[in-house]
Amino acid sequence: MYAQPRVLGMLFLGFSAGLPFLLVFSTLSAWLSDADVDRGTIGFFSWIGIMYSVKIVWAPLVDRLPLPVLTKLLGQRRSWLLLAQCGIAAGLLLLASSTPQQSLQVFALYALLVAFSSATQDVVIDAYRIEALAKEYQAAMSASYILGYRVATLASGAGALYIADAMDWQIAYLAMCGFTLVGIITTLVIREPQHAVKTETQLQEERLAHELSHALHAGRLWGRITEWFAVAVISPFAEFFRRSGKSALLILLLIGTYRITDITMAVMANPFYLDLGFTKSQIASVTKLFGFFLTIGGAALGGVLVMRYGILRILLLGSVLVIVSNVLFAWLSFIGPDITALALIISADSLAGGVATAVFVAYLSSLTNTAYTATQYALFSSLMTLFPKILAGFSGVVVEHFGYTTFYIYSSLLGLPALLIIVYMLSNKSAGKLAGRES
């Protein structure tokens, strides 16, 4: 199973997806902290990551709009993938050529380019992963993707911190720009997947396009535009709500709240370690390098548990583990720079994060229709991070006014709504089925 060329290819595409994420998130927070940017501003900088949460806006274009020349040469998925990867490389190169001290606004715009291009790349890779192989290979595709993603976060987390500690941040980001070649080369090597649309789905699209065009009294030109809009934008949402019925809003509410705790706490993680007195090399060794292996172990454990107990029960387990592990950081704020305590807490947090991530990727994938993989998965993953990212922007303000202990208790409590929704789904037969109990 893991020797399949496309499964192996997902390893490198996962690396390409994971590389830019920390470079506009926690690694960027460490650079800003090192540059003596105030904690409130660092928190607001995390709003750059909202690009990952609003990618649903342009996902229909990625799903259906061909790019001039490139699409004929590479195909729909690979052409958009290459364009996004070139945007990431350009943004990282611009960041490497500047500093926060020169112009914080321009620096933020460069980071925004990286985040926008990275979010676009995520839309394409998620679609490719679901389309490239049959359902029986999806678990292997997800596992390969997660492994590649975590290796990339190791490079952009620990690797960038090591380089910054030995040299400077600009050299670190220049080195990360060089790593974008992994994704670019992979895109040129892999084959374009088949984009299958069922006959039933095509008929529904045609009916919806006709009804919308008739309602708007559209002429020939506007009729074609209306038809494209109906197929690319309205149909994916209509299909999901038609298929999910009354449980659709409950499912979306769960997706929107499941990642609140870990996303909110992650913004202040590196500033927290630095303020406690840990060196950048210690942070890299323990939180990135050591935590990497525990995260991979957690992801593998999550996959096994899902096969044995189903998705929903392990979603509940992941939610509980993330909340409990987050409380441990409040305890660390009392202890101070104790490397042993940090290692134990990072172990618990990484293991919990690995389990939660693996089961959540499987859950979101199970909710998509292969006719709209890019758009529907973008809807779910955008919603997954939108509210958490907005709250995360205020994390620096919470730390400045109440301290790290209160912040970590507060971020743990934010995970309770998702936990209660899962408990309700488990106790409700129809909602539980739609939420993936039998997946």
Query: What integer best gives the mean pLDDT of the chain?
Result: 82
Residue 31 lies in a domain: yes
Q: Is residue 439 part of a domain?
A: no
CA distances from 267 to 32, 214, 243, 398 (A): 12, 49, 36, 12
* Cα dist from 202 to 221, 245, 433, whole Å: 21, 20, 26
Residue 123 in contact with residue 56, Cβ under 8 Å? Answer: no
d(C-alpha 117, C-alpha 60), whole Å: 15
User: CA 142, CA 126: separation in Å to the nearest integer?
Assistant: 10
> Is 323 domain-assigned?
yes
Q: In whole angstroms, what is the distance from residue 6 CA to residue 303 CA?
A: 19
Kindly state whether residue 228 falls inside one of the protein's structural domains: yes
In this structure, the number of other CB atoms found within 10 A of the CB of residue 189 comes to 11
Query: In the chain, what is the greatest distance between 2 CA atoms, to the nearest angstrom?
Result: 71
Place of tokens 């690319």: 232
The pLDDT of residue 358 is 79
39 within some domain: yes
Distances (CA, A) of 59 to 166, 190, 235, 343, 372: 40, 22, 13, 39, 10
Digit-coded pLDDT (tens) for 96-117: 999 888 888 899 999 999 999 9
| 376 domain residue, yes or no | yes
Q: Do 276 and 431 touch, CB atoms closer than 8 A? A: no
Rounded average pLDDT per 10-residue block, the chain, 439 residues: 80 94 88 85 83 82 86 92 96 93 89 95 88 69 83 89 90 96 95 69 56 55 56 71 83 90 83 86 78 80 79 90 90 87 89 86 78 75 80 84 90 92 81 45
Mapped onto helix, strand or coil, the DSSP state of residue 394 is: coil
> Total domain count for the chain?
1
pLDDT of residue 323: 92
Query: Looking at residue 10, which CATH number applies to its domain?
Result: 1.20.1250.20
Q: Is residue 185 a part of any domain in this protein?
A: yes
The 10 Å Cβ neighbour count of residue 144 is 24
Find the domain containing 269 and state its range. Answer: 5-434
In a domain, 395, yes or no: yes
How many DSSP H helices and E strands does the chain contain?
25, 0
